[in-house]
Chain A
Amino acid sequence: MSNFAKTFSSSLGKKLVMALTGIFLCTFLIVHLVGNLQLFKDDAGQAFNAYAYFMTHFTPIKVVSYLLYASIIVHALYALMITAGNKKARPVAYAMQAGNQNSAWTSRNMGILGTILLIFIVVHMGDFWWKYHNAELPYAKYEISLDNPNDIQVSEVPYDANRLVHSEVVDIQAGKKIVISKDLYKVVQNAFQTWWYVALYVIAMAALAFHLIHGFKSAFQTIGWNNNRYLPLVRFISVWIFGLLVPIAFAAMPVYFFLFK
């Protein structure tokens, strides 16, 4: 076995894979969140649809997105492998184990939290990623006034296999920019009209919060970056950014659509 293969089949190497894929997923979350904030714009989804087009058609981002799919799969597979190994390491369970007196709940339930996340990711990608890539979605036609970019007229254009996913034409004469894009915004809007679907998202984001309150700082420990000077910063980011800000901002989206759109 090569040194490389040996390292990554060791217990520490497997944890390194978990940590690196986990950190990569964390950075993705930030990008995904910032992009999705376009949903809150009051422009009938024009900015959001343009962003969706950009994310799915700009080559460097496409490359990163394949890395992302691979990371999710590898992270979940290694989680399964590590958990199976851990179960084998203690074949007879304690009759009494007071884990709550020596460790945080989040740290003891990464597998359950991760499983909720995996289910969520499958549902979420099925409803948006799959539909955007494969379903025969209608288009939204935005007529944007060149004088006032906030003056947007929107209308629906039926699905047409020959139409580009996204097109922009400036009509100087009419004083309008005409943007026609595949209407993912509509899909989002429709999905978040169902209360239990919104609830699923909120629960998943709670699981994300708990997964990352422990996970983000844990990854640093696994990699071996526990410099005393930066540890407080890592803990701060773990709790305030990944434990609160990111999940709450994500959860706000379905709630916002359910209540106001």
Chain B
Amino acid sequence: MSGNMNLTLKVWRQKNAESQGKFVTYKAEQVSPDMSFLEMLDVVNEGLIKKGEDPIHFDHDCREGICGACSLHINGRPHGPKHGITTCQLHMRSFNDNEIVVIEPWRASAFPVIRDLAVDRTSFDRIQAAGGFISVNTGGVPDANSIPIPKVVADEAFNSATCIGCGACVAACKNASAMLFVSAKVSQMALLPQGQPERYRRVQAMVAQMDAEGFGSCTNTGACEAECPKEISITNIARMNRDYFNATLIKNEE
């Protein structure tokens, strides 16, 4: 088929967290521009399997940009060169024929490599488990409009809640800071009435867990916001900082 491309891939290969990794070069031939980046890797992997070699390991699940499983640092940027999308939404037409594509895993001590390009992001789960919830006893279903919430506030909370926890913010940040993720998870509840009872306990617990996981500090470079596939704003970070200082320096209880 005409219009297909040939690419050279430089892929990070690493057996497990303990072993030394290295770049290995592969040819991706006859790549259709309509393929997604992950489909391109699938094709390369099929070739590797046929040759009896170990396929390249990478994370993926929904392949439609909603689950946050796919990762990959492509040519120096999380989820590749396009803005506001995940790797599974990245198409090969975003690359040029004969281009060299460098593929690395997310790099952070809190995201140890499991194998090749797959990293362990359970540190995010532990941060979420530390406080990213509301405690309510279940009962009858309340009327949907019994708690009035201004539309702008509801929208803002919704925007924060669109975080899929992919870790691109950490991957993009020069300090491997998780502030955008944590602040989005803090904000989605801090903005809504249901989140108020645990608002200040939540932010302290989640920040403490974030620090314990070994993520870096925020220098406010804004790289996270620029690379976030869900375009989550660093306004969330300011809100989290405000809540945290409020909680630890001003509030009496909790």
Contacts and interface: CB of A to CB of B under 8 A. Distances in A.
B109 A88 contact: yes
B92 interface: no
Interface in A61-94: 82, 85-86, 88-94
Contacts of B172: 102
A102 B109 contact: no
B207 A102 contact: no
Contacts of B237: 221
B25 interface: no
B109 A15 contact: no
15 contacts: A10-B244, A89-B214, A90-B176, A93-B107, A95-B23, A95-B102, A96-B76, A96-B102, A101-B81, A101-B226, A218-B219, A221-B234, A223-B241, A225-B238, A226-B238
Contacts of B96: none
B207 to A, nearest CB: 6
Given A89-B214, A93-B107, A221-B238, A99 B223 contact: yes
Contacts of A15: 217-218, 241
A11 B218 CA distance: 8
Point out which of B73, B109, B172, B219 has the most chain A C-beta atoms below 10 A from its C-beta: B219
Interface in B48-87: 73, 75-77, 81
B129 interface: no
Given A14-B217, A110-B219, A86 B174 contact: yes
Interface in A1-17: 3-4, 6-7, 10-16
A243 to B, nearest CB: 16
Contact of A102 (B10, B222, B241): B222
Contacts of A85: 216-217
A194 B16 CA distance: 59
B241 A12 contact: yes
B26 interface: no
Interface string B174-213: 1111000000000000000000000000000001101100
Interface string A141-177: 0000000000000000000000000000000000000
B221 A94 contact: no
Contacts of A12: 207, 241, 244-245
A89 B108 contact: yes
The 6 closest A-B pairs by CB, nearest first: A224-B242, A98-B76, A89-B216, A86-B175, A102-B226, A226-B238
A85 B211 CA distance: 10
B235 interface: yes
Contacts of A119: none
Contact of B245 (A93, A110, A223): A223
B116 interface: no
Contacts of A99: 76, 174, 221, 223
Interface of A: 3-4, 6-7, 10-16, 82, 85-86, 88-99, 101-104, 107-108, 110, 214, 217-218, 221-226
Contacts of B215: 11, 89
Contact of A107 (B75, B108, B217, B222): B222
B144 interface: no
A103 B222 contact: yes
Nearest to A82: B217
A88 B107 CA distance: 11
B93 interface: no
Given A11-B216, A217-B220, A222-B218, 13 more contacts: A11-B210, A12-B241, A14-B217, A16-B241, A89-B215, A89-B216, A92-B107, A95-B104, A98-B77, A99-B223, A218-B219, A221-B238, A225-B242
B248 A6 contact: yes
Contacts of A110: 219
